[in-house]
Amino acid sequence: MKRPDPDFIEQLKSKNDLVDVIGGYVHLEKKGANYWACCPFHHEKTPSFAVNAADQYYHCFGCGASGDVIKFIREIESVDFMDAVRILAERAKLPVPDFSYDTEQAARTKKLRDEVLRLLRDTAHFYLDNLNGGHADKHVEYILARGIRSSIVRKFGLGASLNFRDLPRYLRSKGYSEEAMLESGAVTKSERGEWIDSLGGRLIFPIINAMGDVVAFGGRLLEKADFAKYKNTKETLVFNKSKNLYNINLVKKRKQAGGISDIIVVEGYMDALALYQAGFENVVASMGTALTKEQARLLKRYTDRVLISYDGDFAGQKGAMRGLEILREEQLGVRVVPLPEGLDPDDVIKRQGREGYQACLDAAMPLIDFKLASLARRYDLKDTEQRRTYIAQALKVIAEADSASVREELLKQLRDRTGTTYESLRRDLEKAPREAPPPEETEEKPREEGADKVQKACRFLLASVLFGAKYAKNFDLSGVSFTDPVHNTIAEYIKMRQKSGGRVRPSELFELIEEDDAELSAILDLSLGEALEGERAERVFADSVKALELARTQEELNALSARFDAETDLEERKSMTRRILELTIKLKKLNT
């Protein structure tokens, strides 16, 4: 990864106060020395996301997310390091200087990334030439049968793969390296070692990111087969499916040209093309998968209102509900577009035209209403037993509503739909259990038991020095040895700062340690509340120092004992015996 000059990064951070930046995304409330909010990176109802204004870093005590202002922008905007730098530079009105490469590996990665992007662009032109070259009859027939106009074909850059062999030969003739060919995902190697087109024989949909780069391809089979109808090229250096949306590039251009009030989210390529052709240009596709948080944050950069328009079958409805929950967690205004049973947006456009689909948009509803409508379609309300089951399920959904007025309105709708009296429904609602919220999707942290005593001691000792606990103010880390590489990195940073007389700043660790490191997160967890304050913390610190000294002594004793058994030199054995005795006495004292 390329990095600007360290002095520029320091200036960039000083011009972008972390509290101000994060406050632009979530509501922060000051409590004590820190600012607090519900974490923007995982769903929670009780704030556990803390922003340390003095040291300019954030840390979530729930999911472990932590970092400085650049890391926050990277995560919240779903961009890489340099794009985060550009966003912050624009915010601070700082010109971004030329970049230098901090390592040979970073320069190599950048070179490969650039080659892959060029290769993908040339591949898109190759597919396009195939479609227009007079040999793609099946592809053209399919396009015509689906009613896609030539102007839409050109705008979206649709292309054709004619076979499995031509693309690899073409890319070789252009001088692309084998490494770039494989990394691009456009070609792959068969089990026999042959180079083949990953989407051989398919209709091709170039996937273009918000920066206007071709980053991947989707392909559709033109004949029935035993494998997937649609297929995407693999995830690569430049493509992560969960962070991209099909047609986001044209949505971005439309916003820049005149703004957009909302964005329609559909499942597949053909749905996006059909809606765009019908005049609904504010459309993106999630490419057949459930919406992710990264995609939700990408949408948030262009609008605060989203309409989910998945297929009208039960699977599509379930996908719409999941997507709506994710979007709502990202503070987006979201509604579900109800479609006729068994139809997708492309079908609606074909059968009912633009006006028919607009009627579906006009009928878009909040999640709780959509859940009730979906339930009603699953039961025969004329059948007494099914109607009773439906009422029981519907009451559970209505119980989720936070507002009494909304619950009252929904109960009236349920009354009208089932013929049951309002009063009896209200009484049953009071007894109905509220559905438990979905479990938070956070990685379970390793359990700390038994053998983790030394690890805990390392964490507490380092946290005490790092966060300036009074009892650890003059503690010398040079006499302590750490085996964990992250602990060593933190210790070396602290010693360097102490030696130079500079202030220890926890935020600087994010430039030295790999992202989302569990050990760093565990150490940051100790900064919460009074964990490092008072007499008890001072005793824990002393016990931690003792535990590390005991572990180091035991380790040396074990190693020496093992060497003693293999040693044949008499004088050396005598020397080792004396040292073993010293270590044994020391261990006895440490254990008392």
Convert the pLDDT of each residue in 103-138 to its tens digit.
566 668 878 988 999 999 999 999 999 999 999 999
Pairing verdict, β 57-60 and 49-52: antiparallel
Instruction: Locate 154 and state its tokens.
Output: 């050109």
Burial class of residue 396, CB neighbours in 10 A (0-12, 13-18, 19+)? middle
Ramachandran sector of residue 489 (left: φ over 0; alpha: ψ -120 to 50; beta: rest): alpha
Instruction: Locate 122 and state its tokens.
Output: 């040339």
Lowest mean pLDDT segment, chosen from 12-26, 198-212, 413-427, 439-453: 439-453
| pLDDT tens-digit readout, 455-510 | 888 888 888 888 888 888 878 888 787 878 888 888 888 888 878 777 777 878 88
Pairing verdict, β 203-208 and 159-160: antiparallel
* Average confidence (pLDDT) over 576-580: 79
* Average confidence (pLDDT) over 140-166: 96
pLDDT greater than 60 at residue 243 = yes
> Rounded CA gap, 494 and 480, in Å?
13
Nearest to 459 by CA among 433, 491, 434: 491
Residue with more model confidence, 313 or 40: 40
Percent of the chain with pLDDT over 70: 90
pLDDT greater than 90 at residue 164 = yes
Burial class of residue 254, CB neighbours in 10 A (0-12, 13-18, 19+)? middle
What pLDDT sits at residue 272? 96
What pLDDT sits at residue 445? 39
pLDDT greater than 90 at residue 208 = yes
Domains and CATH numbers, the chain: 6-92 (3.90.580.10), 103-239 (3.90.980.10), 240-365 (3.40.1360.10), 367-431 (1.20.50), 450-590 (1.10.860)
